[in-house]
Amino acid sequence: MAELAEAQRKTEERLNELAEAQRKTEERLNELAEAQRKTEEGLNKLIGVVRRIEKIVGGHSHTIGHTLEDKAILKLPKILKERYGFEVEGKLKRGFLENDKGEEEEMNLYGYAKKDGERYFIIGEGKSRFSKEDLKDFENKLKRFKGKGTQFPIIITYIFSSKKVEEEAKKKGINVFISYELEE
């Protein structure tokens, strides 16, 4: 009987130890859950900050792009006349224009010019840093505006993402203007 009583006491002791270990495990799980909640809260705040930064940077990027386009709109008529013999009709513009599919599309720079009795559709894209992806997008835009007449495509940029992108644009017959050329 004494042995059974001792075994019973040891079993109860062990059960108490297990219960204490279970309590500590539950405490630790609660601490981890609270830490997880705080981490998620912090992450959500960080996501909000990143979104605000993206909006600010996007706004700055648009401002830089629009400044570049504004300069081009003002200076290009003279440059086009001197370099290529174009006489711009009216003024070059930035805004929305209907493409060949009848959809309104944002245009960085567009207008018409004449040379040797032929009318040309001036179509330009301005980016602070012109990349390979930008070139592809511009080529697709040119296709969507084929119906506007003989195109004279223009890229205006501060810099290309690589020399290769600039060379590829020129090979495709796109006229390239680096920002400082608008200052001459």
pTM: 0.65
pLDDT of residue 120: 97
pLDDT in tens, 113-159: 999 999 999 999 998 889 999 999 999 999 999 999 999 999 999 88
pLDDT in tens, 101-116: 999 999 999 999 999 9
Closest alpha carbon to 142 in 100, 182, 80, 81: 100
pLDDT of residue 59: 59
pLDDT in tens, 63-90: 555 678 888 888 999 999 999 999 999 9
Q: Find the range with the poorest average confidence among 28-37, 144-153, 164-173.
A: 28-37
In what order do the strands lie in the sheet containing 104-115? Answer: 87-98, 104-115, 118-130, 150-160, 175-178
pLDDT of residue 100: 94
The share of the chain scoring above pLDDT 90, in percent, equals 59
Q: Cβ–Cβ contacts within 10 Å for residue 70, how many?
A: 14
